[in-house]
Structure 1
Amino acid sequence: MLLALAAVVAGLALLVWSADRFVEGAAATSARLGVPSLLIGLLVIGFGTSAPELVVSAIAASDGNPGLALGNAYGSNIANIGLILGLVALVSPLTVNSSVVRRELPLLGLATLVSALFMLGGAFTRLEGGILLLGLAAFIGLSVAIGMKNGRDPQAIDSEALVENVMSLRAGLTWTLIGLVLLMASSRVLVWGAVEIAEGFGVSDLIIGLTVVAIGTSLPELASSISALRRKEHDMVLGNVVGSNLFNTLGVVGLAAIISPIEVGPDVLLRDWGVMTALTILLGLFAIAWRKGRPGRINRLEGAVLLAVYCAYTALMVYLVISAARA
């Protein structure tokens, strides 16, 4: 058990570091190749911060632990909105200006509902995983088309600071490759440790994925959100979270289901999907501009509500782990 705990801690630390190097290298490479700043912010950085979830879930599914893959994806979504946005809004209320964010929120809601329909059948099949991946591909295509047509969205402006004085193309490619290799290695160590802990406590790998692994793989989003907040780039904060959740819902779950179909119990739909959906709805309500002519705004009280929901959910997960260990 001590070795497994050490593997999780070391795996998470290396995972966060390698993900940061991967995103920096990929962003620099994209900038050197002339990719518009909007697409770098939306796709390379927004989705790049979800690389830990993707790699961890793919390895977990290939190792015969699809529950860990699903828990990682949904747990990360819950942490992104409840923990990250909740904390950030408590520190500084967030102004919602970006049309990109307003466009992505309804798509996130639709993807969440489609996932529920698939779970009603008791599992994510390979066919359903393929449908989710096609949905992600369609979203990426739409984002590229819109980004190329209109690159002066507030999120595009926010992204420009991230591509100034970037490293050389050679250095960018090098760090992208190093980050990717270390992502794979650290993810394998993390998955092994998480599975060992789950077996030691007598809980499902789903629970471990929803808690420890989900929080760890969400750290890149937390780091990028804090960095964007310090630069007062509110749309970048929201874009990171919404884009990451879309990627998790469609890409991470879709890829894991193709590798190994994911059985889903009714508790996942009622508890985990329910909390994730509730937080998504709250985010949408808070981000809407209720007064005409004024931007949307997530204030400190609303941030506290998001954080309170996350804390209550986490307390429930801890209770389940303790109960399983005692049994």
Structure 2
Amino acid sequence: MIWATERLLEGMVGLASLVRLAPFAIAGIFSGLEAENVAVGVVAAHADAPDIALGTVFGGGIFVACVALGLGAVLFPLRVDLPRRVLLVLAASPLVAGLALIGDRTSRVAGAALLVAFGLALGYLVNASRRHRFLAAGEALEAAEKSRQWWVPALLTLVGIGVIALGAELVTFGAERMISIYSVPAALVGMIVTPAAIELEEVIRQAIPAKEGRPDISAGNLVGTVLYFVLFNLGLIAVAAPVRVSSLTRELDWPFLVAATWLAAAFLWRGGVSRLQGGVLLLLYAAYVAAHLWFR
């Protein structure tokens, strides 16, 4: 998966130079899209498994904001200058997601609103990145010269995404086997175990670009992934197969998602995430897991 992430990194940098978009935006669009997360959420919704369906949104979002960003920063501190309004969009996204939690079930109207909000948010991310300089001029020129043929970065991007998705499937299969062998309570699977298993590769997606001197891609992956999870995935679930909303989701998972996203946005607002701040995010996730164990 490390090899695949490195290929994905090369592909996104090259693709960004070809389409004249910032690598931050390319990472948000392509790396942020989690096909396996979408699939699990929709299938679980149709199977009337609300904890698993909503876990891909809330549990997944919390995992990405706390563990992927936090552990990635502990390994390789993240220093990046992001457009302030993009960070405001990031912080607002979990609040907008709360629309789907009104009532006993997610509504199709709220789902449609979330999908519209996702389109607007992603469009704004792309537009804002056009006017923002993430890298020095020399670094941008060097990145642009690495791939001149259009099919090379496109192929690298597709190969990277494909191998990472395959790796995620293997991780998920292994986690499910562990659950069955060790009899982990089913109630914990939805919000904690399944999201962690599906999104484990996000740690690598955060760490490798930062290690390779591309913190803008790490940040783009984070912002894009959160937007996909809390707006697109939740909107799609609500439209395709409305699910029951438990009081625990409304009173525990959603507030933790808001807190995790706001804390991550606050750190990025100040110019990045240090090792200490990464540790704080990991502690927040530990508190989230502990709360689930306590209330379950």
Name the TM-score class by shorter chain.
Answer: 0.7 to 0.9
Match status 1:304 vs 2:288: no
**Distance of 1:171 and 1:233 partners within structure 2:** 16
Residue number in structure 2 paired with 1:51: 35
The equivalent position to 1:245 in structure 2, one of 217, 222, 226, is: 226
Match status 1:42 vs 2:28: yes
**Distance of 1:244 and 1:62 partners within structure 2:** 23
**Relative to structure 2, which stretch is displaced further, 307-316 or 125-134?**
307-316
The equivalent position to 2:51 in structure 1, one of 67, 76, 84, is: 67
Contact 2:168 2:201 in 1 (8 A): no
Match status 1:126 vs 2:112: no
**Distance of 2:203 and 2:148 partners within structure 1:** 22
The equivalent position to 2:186 in structure 1, one of 193, 199, 203, is: 203
**Distance of 1:29 and 1:234 partners within structure 2:** 16
State TM-score, norm by structure 2: 0.78
The 1:286/1:21 distance shift into structure 2, 3 A limit, reads closer
Q: Which amino acid aligns with 1:52?
A: E
Q: Give deviations 1:251-295, integer Å, cap 9, x for gaps.
A: 111111111102111111211111111122222333333xxxxxx
The 1:25/1:61 distance shift into structure 2, 3 A limit, reads farther
In the TM superposition, what is the alpha-carbon distance from 1:175 to its structure 2 partner?
8.1
Q: Which amino acid aligns with 1:279?
A: A
The equivalent position to 2:86 in structure 1, one of 101, 104, 108, is: 104
In the TM superposition, what is the alpha-carbon distance from 1:248 to its structure 2 partner?
0.4
Q: Which amino acid aligns with 2:193?
A: V
The 1:201/1:143 distance shift into structure 2, 3 A limit, reads closer
**Relative to structure 2, which stretch is displaced further, 210-219 or 137-146?**
137-146
Residue number in structure 2 paired with 1:293: none
Q: Give deviations 1:114-158, integer Å, cap 9, x for gaps.
A: 2224313232211111111111111222233344x4374349968
Q: Secondary structure at the match of 2:79?
A: strand
Q: Secondary structure at the match of 1:236?
A: helix
Contact 1:25 1:174 in 2 (8 A): yes
Match status 1:315 vs 2:296: no
Q: Which amino acid aligns with 2:28?
A: L
Q: Which amino acid aligns with 2:106?
A: F
Residue number in structure 2 paired with 1:227: 208
Contact 1:57 1:68 in 2 (8 A): yes
Match status 1:85 vs 2:69: yes
In the TM superposition, what is the alpha-carbon distance from 1:72 to its structure 2 partner?
1.6
Match status 1:272 vs 2:257: no
Q: Secondary structure at the match of 2:56?
A: helix
Q: Which amino acid aligns with 2:51?
A: G
**Distance of 2:205 and 2:16 partners within structure 1:** 18
The 1:29/1:94 distance shift into structure 2, 3 A limit, reads closer
Aligned sequence identity (%): 26
State TM-score, norm by structure 1: 0.71
Q: Give deviations 1:95-127, integer Å, cap 9, x for gaps.
A: 23122xx32221122221122243132322111
**Distance of 1:252 and 1:162 partners within structure 2:** 33
In the TM superposition, what is the alpha-carbon distance from 1:168 to its structure 2 partner?
6.7
Q: Give deviations 1:222-243, integer Å, cap 9, x for gaps.
A: 1111111212333332332122
Contact 1:23 1:44 in 2 (8 A): no
Contact 1:124 1:257 in 2 (8 A): yes
CA RMSD for the aligned pairs?
Answer: 4.1
Q: Which amino acid aligns with 2:29?
A: L
**Relative to structure 2, which stretch is displaced further, 247-256 or 298-307?**
298-307
The 1:175/1:146 distance shift into structure 2, 3 A limit, reads closer
Q: Which amino acid aligns with 1:281?
A: W
Match status 1:236 vs 2:221: no
Structure 2, unpaired ranges of 5+: none
Contact 2:12 2:26 in 1 (8 A): yes
**Distance of 2:224 and 2:141 partners within structure 1:** 14
In the TM superposition, what is the alpha-carbon distance from 1:249 to its structure 2 partner?
0.3
